[in-house]
Each structure stands twice: as structure tokens, then as C-alpha cells.
Structure 1
Amino acid sequence: MNEKTLDKLKILADAAKYDVSCASSGTSRGSVKNGIGTAAGWGICHSFTPDGRCISLFKILLTNHCIYDCAYCSNRRSNDVVRSAFTAEELAELTIEFYRRNYIEGLFLSSGVMRNPDYTMEQMLRVVRLLRETHRFNGYIHMKSIPGASRELIARAGTYVDRMSVNLEIPSEQNLKLLAPEKDYESVFAPMRFIQQGMLESAEDRRKFRSAPKFVPAGQSTQVIIGATPDSDKQILTLASALYKRPSFKRVYYSGYIPVNKNDNRLPIIATPPLVRENRLYQADWLMRFYQFKASEIVDDAHPDLELDIDPKMGWALRNPAFFPVDINTAPYEMILRVPGIGVKSAKLIVASRRYGRLNSVQLKKMGVVMKRAQYFIVCRELPMRTVNELTPQYVRRQVSQKQKKQAADLLQYSINWGE
């Protein structure tokens, strides 16, 4: 690698670090004759950074030149930063070289907006086309779709990549217009609709013809910045819930706001990224996706923001004591799933195992139930009897929040260290 290419790599890889919507999962792409690479449906875990983070994908910007002036972005046009750009040929060659050296197994490709959205999409499309057709690369590719890009370009790109993402960035259009005056929700939601339509058409074609090409087989995702605006967790989770109702949508990623532009009076002044809040949003997101919770159950008008000292599932349980205690040996799966300390796997094991006899606390523990939390919300043959005072929400909160407060404090300390 020559010195010029190395300089570009340092600049553009560093500029790409703020985009978190790049997990690789949900698709399998087998090896092909005369091709190189595969993509596994369980996700790629390949190399690690010095601080322990797994970096399975080559995460890079095509360029950090940008025509937009978004308040929250380090690459905005008014920032005095070193600018650089790869050509499509350079980036495709670099990706293949990294793969051959066993550094990476896939690519996450994003870019600043050069000239206009369509021009940028054309350049990114050239990269993935070169990888697939010229280099015969068959590994995982996640490509960022540029807001405002045309349907034709998205349709062409979708036949080459495994996943596409279009970042919302700000949870409400009013605040998006404040921080990014040149953007609007329509420019973001239009590409999302194009991707969804392409996926549905592809699924229909594949039902008729098994050889029909796949279109974005791993679905689409988006990113929301947390803490840059006063939007509540209720607004954020309601938005995420609406997105998950779309058949093509796989993930919403939450990114704690990092103050990269400290002299912009449109942005809040914070010392560290809101990592604890980000963590709670991911937990709430998990409840919606796998635990059959609705956004309105996790947050509402009376509680528009998630509690930081306890997790969202525990918060719901303490606000709804009438649902408890749950009899592990008779309750339906849906109710067992709502008990704090019981996960999806444990709930399925409980339902399957109780057909052969009544379960006790020892058996539950072996199934993976966290009894330190679950014991306050379940009835089981061998659990000790508790007084009325012990079962009040106030008492339970005191008991279970101590450990979670420590975990939150550890996460806060990590964010402080990160900021330094």
C-alpha cells in the first residue's frame, strides 16, 4: 500500500466511525466458481480493535467531501477538516487486498454527498459492481443509500449488496430541519420505500422462478442519534415501532450523540455521550422485537423517557404490579416472557419442561432464569413465602436497582474515559 492510499485510508476510515448501523447478519451467500468470499447468515466476527471491539467489516467512506452542512456531522461542509476521496477502482482494489490478507470478510460502504445524491450513488454503485463483477467478490456488502437518490440507482445497487441502510439521524422532522436544513424526512423515507418495494418484488419473482436474483436479502436498517435534540424516548421508540412494521425492516440503531462540533449553538452542551440512555433504548428495542411488547407499554405520556437506573422490562413490571406474581407452572408463554429475569430461551424451556412435572427454583436457575430478579414476580413450588411489604414495587425497586445502578455507573465511567 503506497503512502497516498494509506493517508486516504486513515482519513476516511476515521470519518466513518460515527455510523453504527453496520452490523452484518441476516443473509447467507455461498461460494461460487471462480469467486472469492462467502457471507454467513449468523454474522461475521473476524478481527478486533485494541479496545476489544469486533470489526468484522471494512468500514469506510468513499469520500468525506459533503455538500450538506448538518450540525451534528463531523464532515459537514463548513468544518475545516482534511478532505479526501477514493476512486471506485481504488476502493474496490483495497477491499479485495484486505480480504486476501484475512483482515476483513465484508464491506460497509458509506459516503459524504458529492455534487448531488445521484452522483454519489453512482460512484458507490461502481464500487460494489467492480467487487461483484470484476473481482468476483462474494462476501457481505452493506451499502448506505444516499437520501434523495433516485429509484433507478437504488434498484441497481440492491442487486449487488446484502443490506442497505438509510439513516434518519434525528427522531423528528422538525428537529431534523433545525439541525440539517437541507434535508427532510421525504428524502429519507423515499429510498426506504424503494428498497422495500424492490424486496417485495424480488420475493414474488423468486416464488415463481428460483433463479431470480435476490434484492437486498438482509433487509434494511437505519440510525437515530440520541441526545442531540430534546426528543423523548417515547418519540424514538414509537418511530422505531412503526419502522419494524415494514416487512423489509431489520434494525434500528441508536447512537449516543457525540459533540464533534462544539461551537454550534443549535446543539446541546454535553461532557460525554449518553451511553446509558443508548443502552436502555437498545434494551427497549429488544423488548419490541422479541418479547412482544408494544412501544406504548414501555413508554407513555406519564413516563415518556426510560429510567436509567433500571432496565425497561423491570420498569414495566414495577409499574404494573397487578400482572404479578406469575405462576410459572400454569401461566401462558406470553406472560412468562414478561417476567424480569426470564429471556426468550428460558421461557420456551419452561413451557416445554413443565409438561413433565412442576418446576422448582433450582430447575429454573438451570434453565438460565436470573432468580435475583425473577423471584419477586413469580410463584414457584420452592420459592420462600414473602410478606406484603416485600412485594411492593418500592421494595422490589430498592432490591433490584442497586446492581443495575452499579452497571450504569460503570458504563458512565467508560463514557467519561472514552471522552478523554
Structure 2
Amino acid sequence: MRTADGDHGLVLVINCGSSSIKYQLLRMPQGEFVAGGVVERIGETAPVIKHRDLSSAGASEAPHIAEIDAADHREAFHHIDMALRASPGFEGVEGLVAIGHRVVHGGESFSAPTLITPTVIGSIRALSSLAPLHNPPNLVGIRVCRERFPTLPQVAVFDTAFHQTMPPHAYRYAIPEDWYERDGIRRYGFHGSSHQYVAEQAAVYLGRPIEDLHLITLHLGNGASAAAIAGGRCIDTSMGFTPLEGLVMGTRSGDLDPAIALYMQKVRELRPEDIDRLLNRESGLRGLCGSNDMRDLLARSEAGDEDARLAIDLYCYRVKKYIGAYAAALGSLDAVVFTGGVGENAPAIRLQICEGLDILGLGLDVQRNDAVSGSAFEIGRSELTVKVLVVRTNEELQIAREAMRVVAPSAS
């Protein structure tokens, strides 16, 4: 294993779910992809590993898929280990500098990537009540990796950390004080690694220090969120105590009068878990028109489907409202940045969101918007003052960078 003061090395990025493990091996500090993939259906019927490496590099290449025996995460990591060892460019365990773990919720305890210790593990476990579906499986990945690589530095990178720079007037709710003091009820925000990555890449693209920029970043995918970023620091974001707040999403409602849940609980005799399922898994685009695939909605709308048209209109209108609100919160605006599966790949959605925003000094060039030109490109009208960019997000690379900043600051 390389020492932490080495000038380069491999970083393994792990995103561990309840029945899956996503992994990616990157050569740092260049950020070069070496290998990666996902193990799915761990502990279920017919688990599989989907692996891609330099011999089949390129996001468009189909990964190698194989059925495996993986009754638990420990067995799944055995197959990941074998796949990595067989990958061109893997130098063996001695070439690893660190493992970076995605951890969804860091609460108020973590505002930066953190070297994992028993104390940190205890803190992440204590925060599991805020993210019961995410933090426990994240901890499983940490535990198994620490067992397999006991001498290797491991770093927790939190989805919520980037948003910890929000001022109190942005993250507090107008609720009884002891709800915040005793129960931690406040706005945390999510998608932090993505928002940070695209903001930094936008600054590089624009050729300006991020400290001089006022940006609105829009992570639009099945989950969706907006962030207002001033000088590289988040001052507001659309997701709140949970990822349910904010924009309309694939299956999440977004902003909602809280009395609706109380009303429906009463008139439909719903249990709290029913409401949680309905708002998180059966609302959003799916609730409006039966599908959460934007490609499907666009095709249906083009064919005259009014339900799909309404869903798209509502989706775009909510994003447009947040752009206006965040422009006001920032006080000035240099660029709006689209990212995520929808933000990167749906020109029609970008166009509808930006229609009528000339008042803010931004608008789209139709030809630019329809063109695809690399990992970062401009789609705004050149005569307007606010730039509009598309930046392809890379959360794994951001996690690897954050891990390097902890274990090898001189190399990051």
C-alpha cells in the first residue's frame, strides 16, 4: 500500500446499499477510470456482478455480467476483489491509497470528508435514525472493507456535508425550538457530492475562480434537487430534512402542504408507513401520469397525452420557481448548471425550464441546447449575461477527490 504522502495512487469508491454495492476504482489525482461496476440482488435470488474495466472502457460499452454466489455483502466483496484483480491497470492492494465511502447522512456532525475511526462509525450509526434506509447499509460496506483492508485509510464522504455551509435562516424550519434542539429537525440537503462537483467543473469551464461565482446547480434525475452556491459554498438547497422536499421528482412529491398528509391519514385511515410509501415511491411524475421515466413522458406528450404534458409542465414549473428564488437569494447570478440524467440528456426539459427567464438575464440557444459536446458545454444565448451550462456529474470522482484530500492532501 502506498503511503498517504505519495503523489498518486488508486482510490476505491464504494456506495453500499441494502442489496447492492456500486464500486469504482480510479487512478488519482488524474481521475482516470480503471474499473468499476455493481453487484445487485445481494442475499436475493440470482445475484449478479456487472463489471467494466479498461479493456471495455467507455460509458457506452456493455459491462461483463456474471451470476455469482453472494448471500451477504462479505461474499459480494469477494467477487468485487476478484474482478478488480483481473482488471488491466490494477496494481494490487499495494497500489491503493484509500477507500472512499459514500455515506448519505452526516447530520450536523460532519461538514467535510472524514477519516473513518471507531468513533466516526459510532456517530454514523447514531445518525441512522435520520436515514434508516441508507446509513445502515453504508455502515455494512465500511465494516466489510475495514475487515478486508485493515491497514488501508478509509474515508466517509457525506451527501449532506456540502450543504452544511447554509446559514441558519436557510436550514431552520419555523417549528418549536425543541424539535430542532432535541430531535435535529432542520434542513440538511442531499446530492452534495454532485452539486460540489458540477460547481467546481463549471468554474473550470468558465475559466474563473469559484470564489468569484454565484451559481445555481440543478441535479435533475429520478431524484432532483437545486442548490444556490456563492463562492463555492452552498447557501441554500431544495431538499430538506429528507430528500422528499423541494422539486418534483420521479416518484417523490417534492414540496407539499404538511396538512395533506394529516388529512389523508384521517380520511383514508392510512398508517404512517403508507403515507411514507405513497409520497416517496408513488408520487412525483409517477403519481401524475403513471411513469417516472422522462423519456417516456416526452414521447407520450408529443403524441398528445395530456397527463404526461401536465406532469412535464409541473416538473419544469417547479424548477423554474426555484431558479427565481435562488437568484434572489444569491443577489447576483453568473451561471445556471444542469446535471443528472434528465438535466444532461433532455434538451426539451432544459428549454422549457429556461423559457421566460430573460428577466434574469438567461435563455437558451436552441441549436446549442440540442448539441451534445463533451463533459461540459454551454447552451445559453451568447448575448445574455448569465451563462447556462450542462456539466456531466461524476459523484464517484468527487468522492475519490475528497478521500485524497484527507489522506494525501499534496496529491489532491
Q: TM-score, normalised by structure 2?
A: 0.28
Looking at CA atoms only, which structure, 1 or 2, has the larger radius of gyration? Answer: 1
So what's the TM-score if we normalise by structure 1? Answer: 0.28
**More strand as a share of residues:** 2
Higher relative contact order (Cα pairs below 8 Å, separated by 6+ residues): 2
